[in-house]
Amino acid sequence: MPRSRYRTALVTGASSGLGRELALGLAAGGVRVFACARRAALLDELVAAIGAAGGTAEACPLDVADGERTAATLRRIDERSGGLDLVVANAAVGAPRDVAPYAWEAVRAALHVNLCGAAATLTGALPAMVARGRGHLVGISSLASFGALPAAAAYSAPKAGLSMLLACLRLDVVPLGIDVTTVHAGFLATPMTARSTHRMPQRWSAAHAARHVLARLPRAPAEITFPEPLASATRWLARLPRPVRERLLRRLG
Ligand SMILES: NC(=O)c1ccc[n+]([C@@H]2O[C@H](COP(=O)([O-])OP(=O)(O)OC[C@H]3O[C@@H](n4cnc5c(N)ncnc54)[C@H](OP(=O)(O)O)[C@@H]3O)[C@@H](O)[C@H]2O)c1
């Protein structure tokens, strides 16, 4: 594993799936990783695995649904670490299975974690990065943010909000020396999708997705989008005239 350009990184949602693989990959490149999520026992296991492989990581239990605490935690870790070089807002929840996808309970959870939690993570880190004139913010969004999909209001709306937040932040902070990257991921074989029954074409493993992202991050692109065939199809669908698109989506959904 080549040495990373980052000295320190914080990853939310590091207890599972893509976040765990990103944390492992960063640590393997010599980065000191601050691993955040709610399940402390899983974070401890991750930290032990990283330590056993010769890397350095710290478990930072955190519920990003509490935006105030999240922003404050980011500021504290930034100070304690001597400055975070990379912050990855990855924590998210999928659509709950026990309530309708259009129910408030479903929409509320996704908004609080997937949008407000990510916003608090990124903006919590930003003032110190701006003061240093360097740093890299990354948000894990989804191809689901490209356009409306059936049964996806709870999941897609916060992801579209996150993609827009990152695109706006880029305009403000790239001139100040801060890189901003939006990751638009396709389907991943992780606990989030483990019990899903709908079709998931071109589903990648979390490890493969993490390698893909980490190989591209050092160049600080505006976007990392994968897998490309599915991304192109999703973009094409979003550009169809609305009546055609809605008819097609209702039939597919
Ligand atoms: N799976 C897919 O098909 C897919 C597709 C496109 C994009 N994505 C995105 O990829 C990212 C990673 O998802 P994944 O598939 O790896 O899912 P996952 O395995 O379910 O992991 C989600 C992570 O988020 C954390 N999390 C959830 N709620 C949290 C909260 N309130 N506070 C702090 N951490 C919280 C979970 O940890 P705790 O439960 O321990 O808190 C877990 O570590 C997400 O942003 C997801 O939206 C996934």
Q: 32 burial class (0-12, 13-18, 19+ CB within 10 angstroms)?
A: buried
**Residue written as token pair 């199809």:** 233
**pTM of the entire predicted model:** 0.97
Find residue 224's DSSP bridge partners. Answer: 183
Q: Are 11 and 33 in contact (CB under 8 A)?
A: yes
Q: Which residues line ligand 1 (CB under 6 A)?
A: 12-13, 15-19, 37-39, 42, 62-65, 90-93, 113, 117, 140, 142, 185, 187-188, 190-193, 206
pLDDT in tens, 242-251: 999 999 999 8
Q: Which residues are catalytic?
A: 155
- Strand, helix or coil for residue 94: coil
The residues spanned by each domain of the chain are 8-252
Superfamily of domain 8-252: NAD(P)-binding Rossmann-like Domain (3.40.50.720)
Q: What span, in angstroms and rounded, lies between the C-alpha atoms of 172 and 175?
A: 7
Whole-number Å distance, alpha carbon 91 to ligand 1 midpoint, is 4
User: Ligand 1 test: best mutation among 21, 36, 62, 192, most atoms within 8 Å of CB?
Assistant: 192
pLDDT band at 98 (very low <50, low <70, confident <90, very high): confident
User: Which atom of ligand 1 has the smallest separation from the CA of 12?
Assistant: 34
Least confident of 19-28, 140-149, 194-203, 217-226: 194-203
The DSSP line for 116-156 is IIHHHHHHHHHHHHHHHT-EEEEEEEEGGGSS--TT-HHHH
Cβ partners under 8 Å of residue 236, min gap 6: none
